[in-house]
Amino acid sequence: MRKKTENCRRRSASGSRLTCASVALLLASGMVGCTRTVLVTEDSPIRTGPAVKARVYTLDPDGKWLLGDNEVAIPEGWYVVPPSFVKE
């Protein structure tokens, strides 16, 4: 009986080590390649990434900005600047 108890303890300890190692590996692999993007302040332009679609404003002849009804594809690499970069 004593021998069975010792074997159970050994299996239990090695199993918990394996479980901890698996969890650590899983967490570490989940962190690889993750990035967090934060929109920058008013004084900094940004560039578009791949496959950007958005509703955009256009300037009408009276000088008013009008929001379009549909989304348009914006090419990758185009700059998006804050309003302070545009002279009106």
What does the pLDDT look like over 27-81, one tens digit per residue?
A: 555 556 677 777 667 777 888 999 899 999 998 999 898 999 999 999 999 998 8
Task: Sketch the domain layout of the chain as residue ranges.
Answer: 1-36, 46-85
Please state, in angstroms and rounded to a whole number, the distance separating the CA atoms of residues 9 and 33: 39
What pLDDT score does 44 carry? 79
Report, as an integer, the average pLDDT of 15-37. 61
Give pTM, 2 decimals: 0.47
What pLDDT score does 8 carry? 53
Determine phi and psi for 61, rounding to 5 degrees.
-60, -25
Residues 6+ apart with CB under 8 A from 76: 48, 49, 50, 51, 52
